[in-house]
A = this chain, B = another copy of it.
Amino acid sequence: MSAASENSLSVVVLAGGVGGARLVDGLDRVLPAGSLTAIVNTGDDFEHWGLHISPDLDTVMYTLAGLSPEDRGWGIDGDTFEVLREARRRGVDDWFQLGDRDLLTHLVRTRALGLGESLTRTTANLCNALGVERPILPMSDAPCPTSILTKSGEELAFQEWLVKERAAPPVSRAQHGGNGETTPSVLDALKAADLLLICPSNPYVSIDPILRLAGVSEAVRRTPTVAVSPILNGKAVKGPLATMISEIGGRPPSAEAVAIHYEGLLDGFAVQHGDSFGALYPTLETNILIQTREDRIRFARELIEFARNLT
């Protein structure tokens, strides 16, 4: 990669929910102001109670704001659930866990979008109100709904499959809707990037939705790109990925299976101790479990160092 020093390095991260948020959080502590942009999957966005919910954007935003719980991948730490409790009392759909503080995010977003504001602008304003200074860019301002085609031939909206159906129906493939357009902000960030990082997020439903947008895979090909494996010693840290790799990819879940999925796109790959699998890419083998802030910072440093030494 270019000889840019860490100080002037422009890093763009492609991010899904929890894994994305944790890597971005670590990088946020390591990289100087102005050098980090997160491009976040909006394929999971959906409407619930008439509100526009952006699960991945919110997870990244809450994590950078220091509001995320340690023990779960969504919502705000210590949030209350009074509105949800009332929904239960009245027989209103309660399958999606909406906390009261979290709900305000969706109310503000829905109102702003209803007034014609872009999701990009709305996200910036939400971040601003929570003191988050790093740019968090939705991958698109247009709806790009991911759905799950099940082996039994049903098509389910992603959150319905994941939350309502608890990811139980076996998956044939993920489908990506929408017009395929990203935003000027995303294209500008990609253009300025010295380094692209693909977070340890679900390739099928978090990263592929970003990669398929016009101009993104071209940027990945022309820019040094390092992915972090979302599979550690055969297991996903969170979520249904391990099962999806077996069901969609037809192979046992492993870091290698993820690397093969990204074939042709990467210049380097970071895996958990014990997960290296040969010479497909230059590999950083370390502790990539980044639940604590200390681990996030340590790993962010190692990852940047690894990427800078790629040539």
A-to-B contact residues, CB < 8 Å: 49-51, 80, 82-83, 86-87, 90-92, 100-101, 103-104, 107-108, 110-111, 114, 129-130
Residues of B within 8 A of A90 (CB): 104, 108, 129-130
The answer to whether A100 touches B82 (Cβ under 8 A) is: yes
For A92, give the chain B residue with the smallest CB separation. B108
Residues of B within 8 A of A86 (CB): 100-101, 103-104
The answer to whether A114 touches B83 (Cβ under 8 A) is: no
Q: Please list 16 pairs of residues, one from A and one from B, whose beta carbons are closer than 8 Å in the complex, sorted by A's number.
A: A50-B107, A50-B110, A50-B111, A50-B114, A82-B83, A82-B100, A82-B101, A83-B83, A83-B104, A86-B100, A86-B101, A90-B104, A90-B108, A92-B104, A100-B100, A103-B103
Residues of B within 8 A of A87 (CB): 104
Chain A to chain B: the 3 pairs with minimum beta-carbon distance, closest first: A50-B111, A82-B100, A90-B129
Residues of B within 8 A of A130 (CB): 90
A185 to chain B, nearest CB (A): 23
- Kindly state the separation between the CA atoms of A101 and B51 in the bound complex, as whole angstroms: 17
- Kindly state the separation between the CA atoms of A11 and B103 in the bound complex, as whole angstroms: 41
The answer to whether A111 touches B80 (Cβ under 8 A) is: no
- Kindly state the separation between the CA atoms of A174 and B82 in the bound complex, as whole angstroms: 37
Residues of B within 8 A of A114 (CB): 50
A116 to chain B, nearest CB (A): 12
A87, A92, A107, A129 pick with most chain B CB within 10 angstroms: A107
